[in-house]
Amino acid sequence: MEACIAELRESAVGELLLNEPLSKHTTWKIGGPADLLILPRSKEQLITAVKLLHKHEVPWTNLGRGSNMLASDKGIRGVVIKPSGGLDFVRFEGSSAIAGAAYSFIKLSVMAGKEGLTGLEFAGGIPGTVGGAVYMNAGAHGSDVSRIFKYADIVLETGELVRYGLEDMGFSYRHSILHEKKGFVVEAGFELAEGDRMEIASAMASFKERRLRTQPLQMACAGSVFRNPPGDYAARLIQEAELKGFAIGGAQVSEQHANFIVNTGQATARDVLALMSHIQGTVEARFGVKLVPEVLVVGER
């Protein structure tokens, strides 16, 4: 690892942070240290970093805003890569929106609306980055990334840069090929359509009002914890199981939205995992439905 770090420094792949607490980089504000956190500021720096990690056989984990991730209390061994700087961009070409991995997915929806482009309204309440949204096929309000996806430039674990189209991505509910084939989205293109600015703004305002009313956005959380089972909603099942407000340690089922777990101040990953397990067991016992986690659990157990 020391030889790899030395070569990373020599190659100027971005800021390097040793033993960086992941609690600083996740929306749950939970997580132990990463052995090394790399903050590449460009596609070129990211490619160089991944090639060097592959050369030295050092494992790496990609991180966006950390909004759909539970990092373990022991942290992550190896390297965590979090894009920054020059990977935080957006541009519009006709009806296409092109954005970097670090760009806010919410901000992208807002900017598209200002351009009079429709198709991204659903993204107005998804608190992650463009890279994370593509990885998870993020969605809401009956739509998701796959409906508007055009292409993604992806750095594979060897450092090779490839471009994947819709047919390459294997999109399904909260899933993409990147769950099986390790890669890092550095840029993505979305095909939108011309729309009425007033109608787009109205739809987004309605979604925002609903989000503020129903979600605990003032507290540390990670969005929806469980996937919706076919034909039903995880939040409904958890609420019907009378689990709203139930807590283990510093982790609590939100009083506002039953499919959110909030950090009341001192929650650990262990608390969250125990609470998730309790929710799954209770819901399965009451309704015969096994809830599947939507959040990614990463790090040393």
Alpha-carbon distance of 124 to 211, in angstroms, equals 9
Going by C-alpha positions, the residue among 239, 250, 245 that lies closest to residue 272 is 250
106, two tokens = 């919410």
Name the DSSP letter for residue 104. B
Is residue 174 part of the annotated active site? The answer reads yes
Q: Are the C-beta atoms of residues 68 and 223 closer than 8 Å to each other? A: yes
Going by C-alpha positions, the residue among 2, 25, 157 that lies closest to residue 83 is 25
Is residue 206 part of the annotated active site? The answer reads no
Q: How far is CA 252 from the centre of its chain?
A: 21
Helices (H), the chain: 2-10, 43-55, 105-114, 130-136, 197-214, 234-240, 269-287
Is residue 294 part of the annotated active site? The answer reads yes
- Of 104, 109, 224, 254, which one is the catalytic site residue? 224
Name the DSSP letter for residue 30. -
Residues whose CB falls within 8 Å of the CB of residue 212, separated by 6 or more in sequence, listed in order: none
Q: How far is CA 143 from the centre of its chain?
A: 17
13, two tokens = 């792949």
- Of 65, 72, 174, 187, which one is the catalytic site residue? 174
Q: Which residues are catalytic?
A: 174, 224, 294
